[in-house]
Amino acid sequence: MRSNTELKRHNLLIGGECVEPGGREYSTILDPATEKPIAMVAQGTAEDVDRAVQVARAALKPWNAIRAAERGRILMRFSELLRTHQDELAELESLDAGKPIAGVQRQDVPAAIDTLAYYAGWCDKINGQVIPARPDALTYTVREPVGVVAAIVPWNFPLMIGMWKIAPALACGCTLIVKPAELTPLSALMIGQLALEAGVPPGVLNIVTGKGSIVGDALVTHPGIDKVTFTGSPSVGRGIMQGAAGNFKHVTLELGGKSANVIFADANLDKAARAAASGIFFNAGQVCSAGSRVLVQRAVYNDVVERLAARARSITIGNPSLHETKMGPLISSKQMKTVLNYIDIGKSEGASVVTGGRRSGESGYFVEPTVFADVEHEMRISQEEIFGPVASVIPFEDEADAARIANGTPFSLAAGVWSADIGRVHRMAAALRAGTVWINTYGYTDVRLPWGGSGDSGFGREHGDTAIETFTEPKSVWLSLAQ
Ligand code: NAD
């Protein structure tokens, strides 16, 4: 094992420079698969945040002085640089977050590249409108950047979710301070360097690593921040709304989920069970839209439980850097304990473990893919977000019963419906309270489609033209034509 003094030290990125944190403190980043240290990362302070905010404010003017089409070219170069470094980025993300390399190469990195390319195309298409209000005036709108943005990112998809915030903000002419999750800061630091190399002016994209309670809180309460875009847990999201109220910051919150994957008896059960398994076991269940509740019509309940359990047993768990690995570790010892505790809660509530239910191995934070049967809607494992590889399979009778159960949690991020009946799937799509409904498929996201939820899943939408609206503000202009 390498001693901490041999590990690479990563500083903050402020104003295009790598700077030491004010308190000269660094935290050790662990590989969740081996529990061994992999890097030292700066612990930012409130003073570092203040410096980053001043730099980002000063960068607003020069960034917006660049013609929109040229800004688009810079973002396109940024996207191409990600492609050039895709292998390095994938390895870094896989190591830092314990994500299986094949999945990072197939999803996380391409999605980040695509997101940047998509918003590069938006730069010169952010139009206002001429709105005829009266004959003696020319009245029109322009869309202006909201200003300095704080982007607070979770650890489950650090690169992809980070880019969902960075790309539209840059396209709209905003400047940013990104605060990656304490546990997974490495890809954000690399992205910050690639942005500079692509020609994003110094100070436009700053990366301040460190604790949520220090760096995150300083950003949320800083009067020089105009907008907070946050993805993370509902409890932190609630605090962010309160903290942001001081100067009435714009706030977008993408929070948790307890999504229902609803399988009717007339569905293609093989496809549905396969998708239900990847819907909950992908990324070891650490996915906001994980299909953590599998609702199955009673006539096929036992059949689907068996199919799901068989798929769970066939998953290759282990070293994330190997191509054959399908499931890696959870992100931390704390997360592993939380998940194992929920498994105990499920058992004590009377649900039965069909497969899994234990830690896997003795080092690394691995938990077996777990399927619970005999789950009742009111149980905690059916109501609370576990954020691990634990499926709760719940029986239902008919459409109304399925909708009642699916909509019966405080969350409303996503849902899935499986049926061969075209009328039924559309009735269910209408009945389900969710920001995204997948029909006879599960789990896809695309930057062109709005993404987000309501209730404990947050509010506001990322992606598409919706993000352009949330990173800009319309200004109405009146020009008198009176003689
Ligand atoms: P978290 O809320 O603990 O942390 C998220 C980020 O907030 C981190 O960067 C953290 O440092 C920061 N933070 C923590 N305390 C803060 C504070 N007081 N002020 C400001 N920032 C603070 O969440 P997590 O554990 O990293 O991620 C898991 C959660 O994220 C789950 O609930 C999951 O459902 C949710 N999530 C949602 C989506 C979505 O799109 N809806 C996507 C991914 C994850």
Q: 10-residue block means of pLDDT along the chain (483 residues)?
A: 73 98 97 96 98 98 98 98 98 97 98 98 98 97 98 98 98 98 98 98 98 98 98 97 96 97 98 98 98 98 98 97 97 98 98 97 96 97 98 98 98 98 98 98 97 97 97 98 93
Superfamily of chain region 260-439: Aldehyde Dehydrogenase; Chain A, domain 2 (3.40.309.10)
Q: Looking at residue 45, what is its pLDDT?
A: 98
CB of 460 within 8 A of CB of 438?
A: no
Q: Which of 233, 409, 462 to mutate to test the pocket of ligand 1 (most atoms within 8 A of CB)?
A: 233
User: Residue 177 forms beta bridges with which residues?
Assistant: 150, 206
DSSP 212: I
pLDDT confidence of residue 4? 60
Query: Nearest to residue 95, comparing CAs of 157, 32, 156?
Result: 32
218 CA → ligand 1 middle, Å: 16
Catalytic residue among 288, 368, 399, 462: 288
* Per-residue model confidence (pLDDT) at position 470: 97
What spacing in Å lies between the alpha carbon of 154 and ligand 1's midpoint?
Answer: 5
pLDDT number for residue 6: 81
| CB of 202 shorter than 6 A to ligand 1 | no
Is residue 18 annotated as part of the catalytic site, yes or no?
no
Active site residue 174: no
**Atom from ligand 1 closest to the CA of residue 211:** 11
Q: What is the CATH topology of the domain spanning 8-255?
A: Aldehyde Dehydrogenase; Chain A, domain 1 (3.40.605)
- pLDDT of 3: 54
Distance 399 CA to ligand 1 centre (A): 34
210 pocket-lining for ligand 1 (C-beta < 6 Å): no
C-alpha distance across the termini of the chain, in Å:
81
User: What tokens were used for 51?
Assistant: 């410096």
For the chain, what is the radius of gyration of the CA atoms?
23
State which H helix or E strand residue 116 sits in: helix 109-122
Give residue limits of the domains in the chain.
8-255, 260-439
* Identified catalytic residue from 93, 182, 254, 462: 254
**Equal fold, 8-255 vs 260-439:** no
Task: Say how far apart CA 439 and CA 442 lie, in whole Å.
Answer: 7
Overall pTM > 0.85: yes
* Class of residue 303 by CB neighbours under 10 A (exposed 0-12, middle 13-18, buried 19+): middle
Measured distance CA(456)–CA(257) in Å, rounded: 8
Smallest Cα–Cα separation from 237: which of 152, 329, 315, 318? 152
**Residue 331 in contact with ligand 1 by CB distance below 6 A:** no
Neighbours of 307 (CB within 10 A): 19
Q: What are 26's two structure tokens? A: 């660094």
